[in-house]
Homo-oligomer: A and B are copies of this chain.
Amino acid sequence: MLSLLDLRARIDAGTLTPHGAVGLAREAIAARDDAVRAFACLDPRPAVAQEGPLAGIAVGIKDIIDTADLPTGMGSPIYAGWRPKADAPVVARLRRLGAVPLAKTTTTPFAFLDPTATRNPRHSGHSPGGSSAGSAAAVGAGMLPLALGTQTGGSVIRPAAFCGVVGVKPSFRLLPTVGVKCYSWALDTLGLFAARVGDAARALALLAERPGIDLVADTGAPRIGVVVPDFCDEAEADALAALQRAARAAERAGARVHDLSLAPLFGEAFACHPVIQDYEARQALAWEYAHHREALPPLLRAALDAAQDVGTDAYDAARRTAHRARRSLKDVFGEGDVDVILTLSAPGAAPEGLASTGDSRFNRLWTLMGVPCVTVPVETTGGGLPLGVQVIARFGDDGRALAAARLIERAVG
């Protein structure tokens, strides 16, 4: 894979130019994308900045994020060739940092569950996950050092784990979702894909203008609570084994690790996620539903059909429960002898075939809680598919989640 920190170190040392670094990405795309199909479009003549902390870094932009210079298709024929007026703020920020938005990456239509044609870069017979399919696959295939995605349920953490890359879903609104096609305004969160935890931490710190995110000292002995939520269906054996492997490795590296169970309130909150998502989605996509229902793909159309009946009372009740759970989660970190939670990134490795993007049940609660989540690759199945684990910290403590993920990355590496 292309490492952001490695490329930047070579540029800083003068052994690679920003043009050269972008050229590496373009060569990799030319060599590998016929098999992976990670892109909605490529910029044929990108402007390459010479200066800036991300100069030379080619970035993939999920195709629901507005770009002024490239079409933004939302993964849907309804928006085929659509050209927004302006770059989304996160894209403008990338440019200001010197990065090169080189390509739009595939997304499931409107970032819901209907699959893309993108293949898992580690095994072309398997899904890369979704909804940020192209971003995860492009980084996993070594075609890009950095890509942007979004998560409303599990659309960053899940595809990152499936593709064997690091994925970060930061604290809610750490990065602005302005200029990003909305599915649920209370849940949609911008996230990043990169080769290694350090790459993601550097990029997030720069994008968020928060250098502290990249400077959290490796906590010699983070207190890690291992969680396997009892309100989700069971995970597959290899995913549970990867979680145990990560926990034991962290322990050997000095972390204090213990099992943690979540109070029933979190199960209630978990059940509230779809209510909030559906109620908001039927508003966010009201124009598409009213004018282009027949052009919507089947899973999304069925979801929006059902969402028309979600009432305001149910939505309000769900938001109240989520609010209580967020306050309670603070206590888990504050009083629970826990710096970070370690849990599953997905129920197992990437599903076979392209019919399903996999299941977000180990992600949805954390998206609703707004807390930072990092997935880090831990091992590879006998079938050659990556497995990751997910590290979660309290709201606003993105640096700590990344530091703990880095400890695990080293410990299992």
How far, in angstroms, from A85 to B80 measured CA to CA in the complex? 11
Known contacts A176-B280, A178-B284, A286-B96; A82/B79 CB under 8 A: no
**Nearest opposing residue in chain B for A68, CB measure:** B287
Q: Which residues of B contact A79 (CB under 8 A)?
A: 85
A254 in the interface (beta carbon within 8 A)? no
Given the interface pairs A85-B82, A185-B176, the reply to whether A92 lies near B312 with Cβ below 8 Å is: no
The answer, yes or no, to whether A182 is at the interface (CB within 8 Å) is yes
Instruction: A383 to B114: give the CA distance in the assembly, Å.
Output: 62
Q: Given that A96-B290, A209-B312, A290-B96 are contacting pairs, would A283 and B178 also be in contact in the complex, using a CB cutoff of 8 Å?
A: yes
In the complex the two chains form, is A87's CB within 8 Å of B286's CB?
A: yes
Complex CA–CA separation, A89 to B286 (angstroms): 6
For residue A91, which residues in chain B have a CB less than 8 angstroms away from its CB?
A: 287
> How far, in angstroms, from A91 to B283 measured CA to CA in the complex?
10
- CB neighbours (8 Å) of A284 from chain B are 89, 176, 178
Q: Mark A77-110, 1 if CB is under 8 A from B, else 0.
A: 0010010011111011101100000000000000
> Interface digits, A279-298 against B, CB 8 Å rule (1 contact, 0 not)?
01001101110110000000
Q: Interface size class for chain A?
A: 20 to 34
* A88: chain B residues within 8 A (beta carbon): 287
Partner of A290, one of B95, B178, B185: B95
Within 200-219 of A, Cβ neighbours of B (below 8 Å) are at 208-210
User: Is the beta-carbon distance between B287 and A89 smaller than 8 angstroms?
Assistant: yes
Q: B283 touching A89 by the CB < 8 A rule?
A: yes
List which A232-259 residues lie within 8 A (CB) of chain B.
none
Specify how many copies of this chain sit in the oligomer. Answer: 2
Chain B residue with the shortest CB-CB distance to A72: B85
Bound-state Cα–Cα, A290 to B93, Å: 10
Nearest CB in chain B to that of A286: its residue:
B92
**Interface presence of A173 (CB below 8 A):** yes
Cβ-closest chain B residue relative to A211: B312
Check A210–B312 contact: CB distance below 8 A. Answer: yes
- What is the distance, in angstroms, from A216's C-beta to the closest C-beta of chain B? 16
How far, in whole Å, are A320 and B82 apart by their CA atoms in the complex? 39
Q: Are A283 and B93 in contact (CB under 8 A)?
A: yes
A79-B85, A85-B79 are known contacts. Are A290 and B176 too (CB-CB below 8 A)? no
Point out which of A95, A173, A208, A287 has the most chain B C-beta atoms below 10 A from its C-beta: A287
A293-316 CB mask vs B (1 if < 8 Å, else 0) is 000000000000000000110000
The answer to whether A178 touches B182 (Cβ under 8 A) is yes
C-alpha spacing A93/B95, complex, angstroms: 36
Beta-carbon nearest neighbor of A280 in chain B: B176
The closest CB in chain B to the CB of A92 belongs to B286
Given contacts A173-B185, A176-B182, 5 further A-B contacts (CB under 8 A): A68-B291, A86-B288, A89-B283, A176-B284, A209-B311
- Listed from nearest, the 10 A-B pairs whose CB atoms lie closest are A92-B286, A86-B287, A87-B287, A89-B283, A178-B182, A92-B287, A209-B312, A89-B286, A178-B284, A176-B283
Could you show 27 A-B contacts with beta carbons less than 8 Å apart? A68-B287, A68-B291, A79-B85, A82-B85, A86-B287, A86-B288, A87-B286, A87-B287, A88-B287, A89-B283, A89-B286, A89-B287, A91-B287, A92-B283, A92-B286, A92-B287, A92-B290, A93-B283, A95-B290, A96-B286, A96-B290, A176-B185, A176-B284, A177-B185, A178-B185, A178-B283, A178-B284
